[in-house]
């Protein structure tokens, strides 16, 4: 999906919601466990219920890889079920030496119909560039994450006095790609940093996890981060997909996604 196509989807639907399919088999409704593929049955129902209210889906591959071959089967069925009208993200956080990253890129961006993959940049340019070689595909590079461990490295001041490590990473990565194939992950719990981030990367898209269960404020993020392209995809996972654990789980998920979309429409006025 191109930048122009993504922006058109956001503006026509008046939402920048990304639904995270962190489909933990231990948490899906019990009545689905008799299905041949409980996780796919769950995902299918969630997708059907939320499709009108979002523009993207993010599949956290850890919840599938942990289940071995069965998990990979669920993942592949899920990604092929999501229509191409929606931006499809593999939250896989890959990043290795160049020839290895090339194989990861082929797996997720060529063999599977993902539009984007999350990438860890800390091994440098040759670990990221292989993900930027596919037309209409994106690398979503870890910028400033919301986890407590971000203080161990990302928020450290540089010895030369030129800002913090995460700022250097983002400035450097912008030279490897363009606004047409590179986004940055910025945690919703770092809302105070968005004004600074927009000075560094005024035109790039941000993927923003951490709204909902992790406590990030949609209002704060939207006010600080929206740019001329809208420029943000706000992800909510648990708050939507596990809105109910009963037989009404998909209805509850759709209602929760709709509530996000209604709020987002206000910020797009």
For residues 92 and 257, what is the distance between their CA atoms, to the nearest angstrom? 23
Q: How many residues does the chain have?
A: 269
Contact 210, 187 (CB under 8 A): yes
For residues 186 and 144, what is the distance between their CA atoms, to the nearest angstrom? 5
Catalytic residues: 93
For residues 115 and 113, what is the distance between their CA atoms, to the nearest angstrom? 7
For residues 185 and 119, what is the distance between their CA atoms, to the nearest angstrom? 9
**Residue 118 contacts by C-beta under 8 Å, 6 or more apart in sequence?**
89, 90, 91, 92, 93, 94, 140, 141, 142, 185, 207
Strands 116-119, 87-94: pairing kind: parallel
The residues pairing with 157 across neighbouring beta strands, listed in sequence order, are: 164
**If we measure between CA atoms, which residue out of 148, 86, 93, 151 comes closest to residue 122?**
93
């Amino acid at each position: 999906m191109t930048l122009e196509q993504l922006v058109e989807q956001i503006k026509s639907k008046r939402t920048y919601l990304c639904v995270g399919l962190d489909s933990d088999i231990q948490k899906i409704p019990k009545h689905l466990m008799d299905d041949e593929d409980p996780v796919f049955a769950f995902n299918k129902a969630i997708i059907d219920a939320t499709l009108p209210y979002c523009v993207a889906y993010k599949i956290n591959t850890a919840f599938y890889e942990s289940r071995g071959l069965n998990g990979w089967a669920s993942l592949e069925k899920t990604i092929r079920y999501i229509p191409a009208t929606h931006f499809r993200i593999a939250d896989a956080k890959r990043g290795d030496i160049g020839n290895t990253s090339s194989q990861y890129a082929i797996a997720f961006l060529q063999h599977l119909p993902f539009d984007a993959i999350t990438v860890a940049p800390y091994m440098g340019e040759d670990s990221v560039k292989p993900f930027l070689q596919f037309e209409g595909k994106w690398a979503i590079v870890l910028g400033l994450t919301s986890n407590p461990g971000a203080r161990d490295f990302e928020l450290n001041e540089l010895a030369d006095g030129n800002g913090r490590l995460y700022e250097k990473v983002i400035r450097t990565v912008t030279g490897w790609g363009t606004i047409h194939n590179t986004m940055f992950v910025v945690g919703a719990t770092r809302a105070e940093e968005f004004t600074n981030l927009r000075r560094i990367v005024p035109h790039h898209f941000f993927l923003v996890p951490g709204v909902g269960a992790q406590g990030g404020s949609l209002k704060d993020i939207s006010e600080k981060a929206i740019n001329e392209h809208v420029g943000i995809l706000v992800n909510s996972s648990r708050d939507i997909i596990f809105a109910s654990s009963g037989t009404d789980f998909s209805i509850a998920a759709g209602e929760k996604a709709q509530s996000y979309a209604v709020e987002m429409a206000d910020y797009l006025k």
